[in-house]
Amino acid sequence: MFGADAAHVNFQFENQTQQGKTKTPDPLDYLFPKFIRTSPWLHTGYNGSTECLEDFIMIAEFSEQEGPRPVIIIPKDGGQNFNQNDFAVKILAVDHQSSIVEGFESTEDAQVVMNDPETDSNAFIHHIVLNDIQARGYVRPFCISYVTTDPLKIMKCYEEISSQMKKVARLMKFGNRLVFMRDLEKFQEDLSYTKAHLLISQSRTQNSPQGDNDLLNALNTLRQSMEEVKDILSNLKPLLQLDADLSERFQSYEREVKGHRHQHDTDSDSSSLKDFDTKDDHFAEKELSGSCTDRTSPIFSLFSKCRNQKPKVLDVSTIRGKRRFDRSLRGLHELCSWGAKEGLQKLRAFREFLKRDVSSIYVDELDLSSLVPDCGVLCFGSNTVGANFLSTFDSVKGHSCSRRKTPYYTEDHCGLNSLGSVESFKSLTSSFHSFFDDDTMYSAQSSMAETTNSAIPFHRNMSIGSENHEDSDIIDTAYDQEFIFQHDNSEEVNNEFSNTVESMSESVSNSLVNTLTNLSNVETKPAADSNIVDEIEHPIENHFLDEYYDVDIDKDLVCSAKGCKCHSKNDKSECTQSCCNGPKGTAAKEKKDETVNAENNKNVEKCINDPEKVLDKTCDNISGLNGPESDLLSSELEKNPKSKIADNLTVITKNDNQNVKDDMSTKTIENRKDEDQVNNRKESLTSREDLLLSGSPYKQSVNDSKDFMFSNKSLDSGFDLTSRHGNSVLTESQSSFGMSYSGITSNISNVSHRRSWFSHSSKFLFDGESTLGQSLQKVLSSYNNMQHVVYSLLSGRPVVVIGTRKHENSLREILQALSVFVPYTPKDGSVSLLCQVKQMKMVDIHKFQLRGLIRSDRKSVDYLLPKTCRRYLTLVDLEKQQICCQPYQGMLLNFLLSIHSKKKTFKSDTGMYSYIQLCLEEISSKVFSFYHGMTSSDIGMNIHGSSVLHKSVMLEASSEKYLGEVGVRNSDCKIIKYLSEVVKIQQIDEEFKSKYLTDAPAYPFSVNYQALQTFKL
């Protein structure tokens, strides 16, 4: 403290000399506040420069050797204009461990918020204490701090930040305790070994009084140490048992690592399917040797004792008192093992979520709160909530971010305890809901839409024209990551497991997320998120693949039975049903889910048992299909400049190594193979190839599973099966090679669609330099007459965008932009992009809302879309630059016109995107009025008894009248009516689900023919 005073005086002195130069300060100056004009964006950074400081996370420790020091900064280049050392000193100046306790006690965490007007920064700091057997007092104080310049963010999002930090702390502490316990146990063994050694050696040598004394001292020290260790262990063990779920999770990681090692040792010959494995094998080996294999030769395990490790004799003098301070302390990764990886990953994702503007966080939150009840929600595209027609007022969550409605969980799960104890262990059982929870996910997603390289490992219900299980598959692909270790720039490279995993996983999540957002087929009902999340997470458990990527541990922990990756036909219906079931998931349903899950497990196992067979089959298919066209395609491929694609790769992975990308693809394939994990290294190359191939338009397709009738005889389901191996390229007849689903050969289909999913997504990624907003901006400004197309979408008329391969990029862009306007319906596959060869049939029309078609040069538009179909479709022909549609005459969509005609110009794409969302909300608001105006009117009552037809005519008339009164005319009427119909259908659906536990009867579909007009695009 006296030293502190010196510092104080020194500071004062400096300060005075500084001030003396300018003017003599009025001693009473401090009494009166200064007038500060807050600037909305500019902040005075470190050393007085005004700069926009992006939010960052800093992990700092109080090192017993150096004092406070920053350890890890997320992102790597974060906080450059910020004096990190000063900050570390400030936040770690006080010891947060609870004062005086006897014996070993696990310290509770503390959370601190502070603001610093000098640097204009606000920080949230979570203090944790880790245990380290090498450290003084066995403790290593760390803190995780979130630093932002936004004055509101921290307090507005306090609960969210707090719960996230607690989760991270929980992961780290659990990992740390495991490590600590292993260390202690080893230490204990060493101690007893030393004791025995001492006794034996003493008995052998000559006795002398001096020697006796030494021995006595040594034994005393040993005894004390042993007692201490015993005491700590007895305190520690119950703590570890508290968190069984987490321990399971870490165990699965460990198994995975072992599996990899093992597999690498033995399975190298099982890759007969590849003929280009050598290079990759080498590559893999190199990587592995840097990490897994290089570790302490007996596999280090957190859970089981190392068998081969022999206890060693300790130098008694160093046990007590004579500590060595010359060696460096262990890093965070060494201290926490898996916990550090997962924790850091979570932090990265969380930062992406929170770094956004408070306004968008807040607006997202409002959107989320209006998603309940979900059957009254009118949604557009991926993340526009038009309106909720049935809000219960109570569900409004006004203020804080974290207290979101988590409709899928009962109160005890969604944990109001987030505000409870900060002690991550104490609160973990109840308070753990992450921001990846259904709702928060949603907001994360919308952030995605705004930021290109956001890394929120977040996925939403992107029912891309296929059953939900497919979603889970893709996500799996991204989740299931293996451990590839490379250098991260974080400071501990010396640890056993390198940090790469995080960076890799970040990139995976990055790309995944980007993909998801960029996918044109984002037709979503956000309220269903948690379903999907469940679904997604489950497979992971089922397959006990290590998802490095943390889905959401807590969810895993809480709810353990929903959905499955591998749906067999038998349980499919049941599954979908359980998935579709809204938030009212009752206990009964959960039970059912469990049974479903069990079934699924069986299926999975079945599939696992004969992966080879499956692969063989796939190959057969391919060889059977390889026709003359294969040449054509391969030539196509060559034309495709690979370098360009490689460029793309770097674009996407931005900060990350390109290897990471490759790893991701490796992952895909690995997952494909699930447990059998044959020779992943070789596969990595395959998938790389895939990525390259994906440059070819033919490689890309999103399924609409039912769409593909094609010559695959092996599958009676009539679905296309596609899978490419090695250099085999797809024939044109395989055009639909996208997702396929087959109940019988579920594994095959998993394999194939997962992979195509992946390549599909990566392709989207490649295009995805443009965000949703950017593509909107581009499309709306560069194409004429888009209002007619949007009108079609909003009035339920299917839209087909067709073009040849040349137009692929613009086609994607249009799809991405238009997907914003697609109202959510319970239909599957409403947005898709595919390469189609066969004719479209009338039955297909109702299956989609927006579809992109890439046609081959040999098939004409007229062939693909026969006249009969075309009447009921809106056709956007990129080649002829034509739109064939019903003309739009009205007011509601005028905003599109004014954007096109540059009456409105938005400098930023996010601004434009939010404006379009706003316009959609305005339309929804009109629909809201119409819907309630109509449902409340008593026309229905008056005509009771008359024929159905008559009734409908009457209702029609009254709705026209209503709309006329409100001032809605022409085409706008159709939009309003259709959108209210959409909500009505959801409610009917909901009714069926809640009452009869079945899906609603067939989705009503009406086609109406109206004279078409052709517009220039």
Partner 1 sequence: MAGSFKNSLETGVIQVNMDGIPGDAGPVLTPSSPSSKYSKSYIPHLDETNSPFLGVVLSFWDNILGPRTRHVWRINQKNVLKSDLLSHITSQVLSCEICRDPYTCDIDYKFYNLPHKGVVVPGYVFSAKGTHDLAVHTLYVVLPSEELKYYLEVHETLDCCFRRLIGKLRVMLERNSFETSIEVFTKSLSECIRVLSLVHTSSLANNITISDTAFSPHHVLEKDFLAHCISSHLMTFCRSLVIGETAERINLVLYTLSMFNNQSERRCSTSFCVKDPQPYHHDFFLQGLIKVDNKSFYPMTEIVVSRYPTTIIDLTSRDVKQTQGYSEHVLRRYETIKNELICLQYGHFEELVVVEQDLHTSTAYPDTLVQTFVKEMYDLPESCNVRGAFIIQFMRMLHKRAQCLIECVKAESNDGTIPMKSPLLKKIRNDLQLHAEGDFRIVLATAEKLKPGLFCFVKNHKGKHDRDQSKNIEIL
In the bound state with partner 1, the residue whose beta carbon lies nearer, of 126 and 346, is: 126
Q: Do 471 and 532 contact (CB within 8 A), yes or no?
A: yes
Buried b (16+ CB within 10 A) or exposed e, 12-42: eeeeeeeeeeeeeeeeeeeeeeeeeeeeeee
Q: Which residue has the tokens 């202690």?
A: 184
421 binds partner 1 (CB under 8 A): yes
In the bound state with partner 1, the residue whose beta carbon lies nearer, of 117 and 940, is: 117
Q: How far is CA 262 from CA 259, 266, 682, in A?
A: 5, 6, 16
Segment near partner 1 (CB under 8 A), from 637-645, 695-703, 864-872, 913-921?
913-921
Q: How far is the CB of 405 from partner 1 (least distance, A)?
A: 13
- Write phi, then psi, for 129 (nearest 5 degrees): -120, 120
Binding characters for partner 1, 147-186, by CB under 8 A (x = yes): ----xx--x--xx--x------------------------
Q: How far is the CB of 743 from partner 1 (least distance, A)?
A: 41
In the bound state with partner 1, the residue whose beta carbon lies nearer, of 363 and 608, is: 363
Residues between 9 and 28 that touch partner 1 (CB under 8 A): 11-12, 15, 19, 25, 27-28
Residues between 887 and 906 that touch partner 1 (CB under 8 A): 903-906
| Of 373, 378, 369, the residue nearest 398 (C-alpha) | 369
In the bound state with partner 1, the residue whose beta carbon lies nearer, of 20 and 866, is: 20
DSSP state of 207: P
In the bound state with partner 1, the residue whose beta carbon lies nearer, of 766 and 824, is: 824
Q: At what angle do helices 500-518 and 658-673 cross, to 10 degrees?
A: 80
Measured CA to CA, the distance from residue 750 to residue 545 in angstroms comes to 15
Q: How far is the CB of 155 from partner 1 (least distance, A)?
A: 5
Binding characters for partner 1, 494-513, by CB under 8 A (x = yes): --------------------
Residues between 82 and 121 that touch partner 1 (CB under 8 A): 89-91, 93-94, 96, 98-100, 107-118
In the bound state with partner 1, the residue whose beta carbon lies nearer, of 64 and 922, is: 922
Instruction: Map 852-870 to HEC letters.
Output: EEECCCCCCHHHHCCHHHH
Segment near partner 1 (CB under 8 A), from 71-79, 364-372, 639-647, 671-679?
364-372
Q: Which residue has the tokens 């920064």?
A: 121
DSSP state of 299: P
Residues between 375 and 394 that touch partner 1 (CB under 8 A): 376, 385, 387-393
422 binds partner 1 (CB under 8 A): yes
Measured CA to CA, the distance from residue 759 to residue 979 in angstroms comes to 34
Instruction: Map 477-488 to HEC letters.
Output: HHHECCCCCCCC
Residue 140, classed as helix, strand or coil, is strand
In the bound state with partner 1, the residue whose beta carbon lies nearer, of 136 and 904, is: 904
Q: How many residues sit close enough to partner 1 to count as binding (CB under 8 A)? A: 105
DSSP 558-591: H------SS--HHHHHHHHHHHH--TT--HHHHH
Among 81, 134, 400, 714, binds partner 1 (CB under 8 A): 400
Among 219, 358, 943, 954, binds partner 1 (CB under 8 A): 358
Q: How far is the CB of 342 from partner 1 (least distance, A)?
A: 23
DSSP 361-390: HHHHHHHHHTT-SGGGEEEETTTEEEEETT
Residue 547, classed as helix, strand or coil, is strand
In the bound state with partner 1, the residue whose beta carbon lies nearer, of 122 and 653, is: 122
Binding characters for partner 1, 29-68, by CB under 8 A (x = yes): xxxxxxx-xxxxxx---------x----------------
Among 84, 914, 958, 986, binds partner 1 (CB under 8 A): 914
Q: Do 714 and 475 contact (CB within 8 A), yes or no?
A: no
Among 67, 911, 940, 964, binds partner 1 (CB under 8 A): 911
DSSP 47-69: GG-B--PPPEEEEEEEETTTEEE
Measured CA to CA, the distance from residue 386 to residue 378 in angstroms comes to 5
Q: How far is the CB of 781 from partner 1 (least distance, A)?
A: 14
In the bound state with partner 1, the residue whose beta carbon lies nearer, of 382 and 832, is: 382
Q: How far is the CB of 92 from partner 1 (least distance, A)?
A: 8
Q: How far is the CB of 986 from partner 1 (least distance, A)?
A: 15
Q: How far is CA 327 from CA 111, 134, 674, 738, 858, in A?
A: 31, 10, 43, 56, 72
Residues between 338 and 357 that touch partner 1 (CB under 8 A): 357
Segment near partner 1 (CB under 8 A), from 173-181, 279-287, 327-335, 915-923?
915-923
Residues between 700 and 759 that touch partner 1 (CB under 8 A): none
Measured CA to CA, the distance from residue 735 to residue 712 in angstroms comes to 12
Q: How far is the CB of 942 from partner 1 (least distance, A)?
A: 16
Segment near partner 1 (CB under 8 A), from 209-217, 407-415, 662-670, 909-917?
909-917
Strand partners, 480: 547
Residues between 611 and 640 that touch partner 1 (CB under 8 A): none
Output the CA torsion sign for 515, 353, 421, 137: positive
In the bound state with partner 1, the residue whose beta carbon lies nearer, of 694 and 917, is: 917
In the bound state with partner 1, the residue whose beta carbon lies nearer, of 96 and 249, is: 96
Segment near partner 1 (CB under 8 A), from 53-61, 415-423, 485-493, 605-613?
415-423
Segment near partner 1 (CB under 8 A), from 274-282, 414-422, 759-767, 998-1006?
414-422
- Write phi, then psi, for 727 (nearest 5 degrees): -90, 0
Instruction: Map 1-40 to HEC letters.
Output: CHHHHHHHHHHHHHHHHHHHHHCCCCCCHHHCCCCCCCCC
641 binds partner 1 (CB under 8 A): no
Q: How far is the CB of 236 from partner 1 (least distance, A)?
A: 18
Measured CA to CA, the distance from residue 968 to residue 975 in angstroms comes to 10
Q: Which residue has the tokens 């059982």?
A: 429
Residues between 923 and 982 that touch partner 1 (CB under 8 A): 924-925, 928-929, 932-933, 935-936
The neighbour count for residue 984, using CB atoms within 10 Å, is 17
Among 367, 470, 552, 656, binds partner 1 (CB under 8 A): 367
Among 382, 621, 825, 910, binds partner 1 (CB under 8 A): 910
Q: How far is the CB of 737 from partner 1 (least distance, A)?
A: 40
Q: Do 114 and 91 contact (CB within 8 A), yes or no?
A: yes
